[in-house]
Amino acid sequence: MLQENQFDRVTQFKMSRTVLGRDLYYVATYFVDGLLIDTGFERMAQTFFNTLKPRGVEQIVNTHHHEDHVGANYLFEERMKLHAFAHPLGIPLIAHPPARLKAYRNQIWGVPRPARAAPIAEKIQTPKYKFQVLPLPGHSEDHIGLYEPQQGWLFGGDLFLSVKVRVLRCDEDVQAAIASLRKVASLPMSRLFCGSGRVLENPNEALRLKLQFYEELQAQARELQSQGWPPAKIRDHLLGREGAFRVLTQNEFSKLYLIQGLLHATPHAGTKTS
């Protein structure tokens, strides 16, 4: 499924894999004034490329290297000689994607094909707009956002999914994510364009509430830790025991990882989450 939506001068391409008539997890890319922000996932790459090819794509930016954001890079490279711009840390990961993914990721998005990328500068300019490139690590080390101050647009990749996300991916850094949220929370914004397909019309309030959620949860977790509670018990008390999502993602997402991250402990893939 590929759906096109218009937000003033920004075109959103919202896609998902359809299995048994149901759409599985939306991913969105954005196109404005010749600039394409992210290229979706491999299982939709050909359809997406065919749709974008006549639109006049002149530049591509990847907000980060994850497979649902770089999937059509190789087609723009092979057929239009366009290389994406990305954070330097993401370039080798885009060039050498993993040979295998967790089963759920492979089923929904597919393994991306290798593609070249170039280091992104501090600014990206199109004929009409000037975007500031903002390092926004947390979801991944190479995560960036694009901010257009005159329009108040922030293209935030996966910086924001929802206010109360109660799980953390094993390789995410929640402390860095909090710092990134603080960096952008006070920027004058009219819209936040999210990699999940959400477009927030009142982004500053949503970011404030997300920061508040993290800060309150962190304060509660640290208070219980000071009383000698172990992380798993803190998780059970504040978030409840692990649910089906941990099993579905083969232990890649967990409530315990979030608690560990807020306590400054380092979560590791495969950590037992009883």
pLDDT digit string (tens) for 144-166? Answer: 999 999 999 999 999 999 999 99
Residues of the chain with pLDDT under 70: 18-24, 265-274
- Rounded Cα distance, 72 and 115, in Å: 9
Q: How many CB atoms lie within 10 A of CB 6?
A: 8
Q: What per-residue confidence (pLDDT) applies to 123? A: 97
- Rounded Cα distance, 236 and 55, in Å: 50
Q: What per-residue confidence (pLDDT) applies to 269? A: 42
SS (H, E, C) the chain: CEEEEEECCEEEEEEEEEECCEEEEEEEEEEECCEEECCCCHHHHHHHHHHHHHHCCCEEECCCCCCCCCCCHHHHHHHHCCCEEECHHHHHHHHCCCCCCCHHHHHHCCCCCCCCEEECCCEEECCCCEEEEEECCCCCCCCEEEEECCCCEEEEECCCCCCCCCCEECCCCHHHHHHHHHHHHCCCCCEEEECCCCEECCHHHHHHHHHHHHHHHHHHHHHHHHCCCCHHHHHHHHCCCCCHHHHHCCCCEEHHHHHHHHCCCCCCCCCCCC
Q: How many CB atoms lie within 10 A of CB 80?
A: 14
Domains parsed from the chain with CATH numbers: 2-203 (3.60.15.10)
Integer CA distances (angstroms), 59 to 83, 84, 220, in order: 8, 7, 45
Sign of CA dihedral 135, 157, 111, 251: positive
Q: What per-residue confidence (pLDDT) applies to 106? A: 87
Q: What per-residue confidence (pLDDT) applies to 272? A: 45
Question: 98, 111 in Cβ contact below 8 A?
Answer: yes
Integer CA distances (angstroms), 37 to 215, 223, 226, 230, 243, in order: 30, 41, 44, 42, 33
* Cα of 24 vs its chain's centroid, Å: 16
Question: Does this model's pTM top 0.85?
Answer: yes
Instruction: Say how many residues make up the chain.
Output: 274
- Rounded Cα distance, 121 and 19, in Å: 39
